[in-house]
Structure 1
Amino acid sequence: MTLKDIPSGKIGLFEVLYHWTSIDDALSILKNKEIYGEDHGKHANFSINRRADIAKSKEVCLKFKFNGQHKMMFGDTFDTKDAPLNSHNTIFHLFSSGDPESIYTDEGFSKLGYWQSNVYPGTSGLEFDGIECWDEEYWKGLLSQTLPSKPSRLAFWSYKENIRSYDRVTDNKARQNKLIQQSKDNVGQTIKT
């Protein structure tokens, strides 16, 4: 494993971090002001490019900043249980391919295979910066739906089906509104890892 400082002209590429997750997990992150991953090292996983294909769940994309050291990490870091030494104030941007010695030229930098960014447990410097976006497939139609009126028992043959639909829409709308409010309340807050 090779660690490198990010070249001075490239640091801007790593300033915004994205984390796709479920609505419930996003609510938990903001309520507890804590985030962790399920990988061996329990590190929280982020992306610098809203990459959703490696996310466990992708209902909402949260946005973060990291106020600390940014390091580029090359080599196989999978199944790594421990954080690199002196990582208490460092985020690691993992690259699965590319020559670590070529990062100082635009051409060499463009050939790097970025994978993800990791913040290990106990690291300080992670700051919540809001909701970036909602997954279009998951929320298709839900965000634009108007709240249905609660069904009456008069149409008893369809009441059960209608009440389930009503409850699903109202529950999802309530969770969405709660997350939006918690997001507004927590922008700029430090998130523990």
Structure 2
Amino acid sequence: MIIKTSDFVKSAVTKSQYPEDKRLEIAFLGRSNVGKSSLINALTNRRKLAKVSSTPGRTRLINYFLINDDFHLVDLPGYGYAKVSKSEKAAWGKIIEEYLMSSETLTRVVLLVDSRHKPTADDIMMYEWINYHNYDVVVIATKSDKVSKNDIRKNEKLIKDTLKLKPEHRLIFFSSVKKDGREDLINTLFEDLASK
């Protein structure tokens, strides 16, 4: 699949603000500093489609992007950022949970983890939650350019074991800097969502 167009549609906080056009959705979810915006920009080949901040925790809304005038890529708020209040963390959690529970067109969840580290307790909880609700999930290990080839195999096992990754759920290492395997990743994530 080739991404020809990618456009910001709107931001939302509650269900009443979600788009009403019934297009299929694929949601991107991960910790605040895992590189979600960079990944979205790398996939769409647009440097500033999703806002990248040097300060984690800036994505506080649900952001919708229209891909090929066909389906929505949905950027959810990051979780697990330590330098915010408990009440703010709880508010972000409610935004994420309401979306995941009530979106009628959500088809796949892409869970991002940092390829350099063992998944956090928040990552594990999120993966278990996605599984419990029977969403199709792809796990992407970001920032793979910062991991040696020898360590990628070791970290792959660590991530799979820590998350207790199901055999049918894919784990893909990707670097938003190098973009190696970008086309394959796009096909894995989007091809079956595109209108035939």
Point out the structure with max Rg over C-alpha.
1
| TM class, shorter-length | under 0.3
Query: TM-score of the superposition, structure 1-length normalised?
Result: 0.26
